[in-house]
Amino acid sequence: MDMKLLFDDVTAFETPMLAVFAVDLANGKDDGPRPALLSASLSINSAAQALLQSGEFKAALGEVALLHAPAGLKAERLLLVGLGKLKDLSLDRIRKGAGTAVRAAKPRSVRHLAIAFPDLSALAADQPSDLSPLLTARFLVEGAEIANVDYDTYRSDRKDTSLDSLALIAPQSDAATTSDTQRGFDEGLIVSAAQNFARSLVNEPGNVLTPAVLGARAKAMCDEAGLKCEVYSSEKLQELQMNAFWAVAKGSAEPPALIVMTYEPSAAAGSVTTAPAPNAPVLGLVGKGITFDTGGISIKSADGMEKMKYDMAGAAAMIGAMHAIAQLKPAVKVIAVICSAENMPDGRAFKPGDVVTAMSGTTIEIVNTDAEGRLVLADGLHYAKTLGSTHLIDAATLTGACVVALGTLNAGLFSNDEAACAKFESALATSGEKFWRLPCTDDYRDQIKSEIADIMNTGKNRYGGASNAAIFLKEFAGDTPWVHLDIAGTAWNEEKKPWLAYGPSGIAVRSIVEWVRGYSN
Ligand code: BES
Ligand code: ZN
Ligand code: ZN
């Protein structure tokens, strides 16, 4: 989609469809819906007046109403897009509103859309204060780009309904506001393209996206983006003694892939003028890349197993994040380590009762081969440290228990370090993603004590499974500040929304990118 940012008079803009946001001014239960436009334009308000007064359109979040040939405007259609109650107005709702506008245009065969920036100046009521021009522009772009994709590429009856162009129309303003708006727009384009790239990887079926293919796709992205990328396989796992990762991989006919992508800030990139200080942070991004998880010998039930193609969403998030990092050029070194394998039952597969020695030297008793994600990450985290990482972050569709605990709105957040965790939590204001912190304090360690080996790969009982998995990973992060993201419940959007298609969500890309930028100086 060709996306443009214009500082222009919206009423004079020629377009097949102009979208304008609306909120409900109603206060309290007895106050009926009172829709009002987030536009100060008299022409737009008078074109919509009859509809707003009819009571048909309530400006609920995700609600749309369409007017043809609106008087006084150059647009052929005026689309009103509800954002819900004014008191609930937020950047998140603005992003959803942009997405709703795009997804309203798509089935109506409209290929060119314009969206007017929300303008709250006409409203007399109290207004939210956090709607900066930079973030408003960013959230509009992200909402629109994410909404423009439908994951129907494997359907023969597919009709590509994607928009060809979208113009975001911002009010004319002073130089500082204009440049902030432009920056938010530019960043939004980079980050949403990275998120859509991650989503496209997650959408691929397991027979197409094997570990080797994931490696090839990462390599192609890195070549294009100017990042260093190495893709290794079984021999390298053996050479590095990544026996935990190898235990998972060896039951599959598909060879594993260990993908290492490196971003080096450089003076040439314009963001750094001197060589990095010797004690400068090096960020290690580690992703779970199980391209299909059958559960292995501890096989999963057939019901819903097809979803386990998205067990590489953590890897996809890291690959997507690296795509954005290559373009945003933060002044901090970033190394991404992706551990990709297929978890299969086979004559050569690892078994419950097996004991493996991880790359770190820790011995692990395998109790359940379906707890494979923590095994590949154990070696990935350790390897990222040996490559020089001073701070670690991992993303993984790690536990069903996290889905039970948090549902599908919030992803799980765990950490062994308050400063690294605080940086992540402050990144959420810009990313707009939802993570909820869960514990992995040392008292959870008893859960993974084994009689046979140093630790075992499941908890002693079935309660608190997300924290048991996190305490297992913490063993391998050691003293290195580490953040763990359990995205099992949020990586796949099961229920389509007015602003989002069914399928891969691309969760975590945006937050990881902002966390990385938080270390840039
Ligand atoms: N890939 C799954 C976790 C998962 C569940 C992802 C639901 C997405 C949606 C993971 O490998 C797994 O199977 N974990 C087990 C661990 C258990 C055996 C300790 C689980 O959560 O049941
Ligand atoms: Zn599993
Ligand atoms: Zn898994």
Q: Is 309 an active-site residue? A: no
Question: How far apart (Å, rounded) are the C-alpha atoms in residues 44 and 114?
Answer: 14
The answer to pTM > 0.75 is yes
Q: Is there a contact between 481 and 416 (Cβ–Cβ < 8 Å)?
A: yes
Q: How far is CA 271 from CA 180, 229, 328, 329, 516, in A?
A: 18, 22, 9, 7, 14
Closest CA to ligand 1's atom 7: 400
Alpha-carbon distances of 179 from 91, 184, 189, 325, rounded to whole Å: 19, 9, 15, 21
* C-alpha 443 chain-centroid distance: 31
Confidence of residue 30 (pLDDT cuts 50, 70, 90): confident
- Is residue 129 very low, low, confident or very high in pLDDT (cuts 50, 70, 90)? low
In this structure, which residue's CA is closest to atom 17 in ligand 1?
Answer: 371
pLDDT digits (tens, 9 = 90+) for 211-224: 999 999 999 999 99
- Residue 268 in this model has a pLDDT that exceeds 80: no
Contact between 180 and 133 under an 8 Å Cβ cutoff? The reply is yes
Ligand 1 atom, smallest distance to 462 CA: 19
pLDDT tens digits along 138-179 = 999 999 999 999 999 999 999 889 999 999 999 999 999 999
Secondary structure class of 437 (helix, strand, coil)? strand
Tell me if residue 88 falls in helix, strand or coil: helix
pLDDT band at 187 (very low <50, low <70, confident <90, very high): very high
Per-residue pLDDT at 274: 59
Which ligand is located closest to the Cα atom of residue 491?
1
Average pLDDT estimate for 406-413: 98
Q: How far is the CA of 294 from the centre of ligand 3 (A)?
A: 8
Q: How many angstroms is it from 229 CA to the middle of ligand 2?
A: 27
First to last CA, the chain: 33
Pocket test for ligand 1, best of 290, 399, 448 (most atoms within 8 A of CB): 399
458 C-beta closer than 6 A to ligand 1: yes
CB of 488 shorter than 6 A to ligand 1: yes
Ligand 1 contact via 486 beta carbon (within 6 Å): no
- 93 catalytic residue (yes or no): no
Cα distances (angstroms) measured from residue 107 to each of 78, 152, 451: 16, 14, 60
485, 415 contact by CB (below 8 A): no
How many CB atoms lie under 10 A from the CB of residue 203?
21
- Residue 379 Cα to ligand 2 midpoint, Å, equals 16
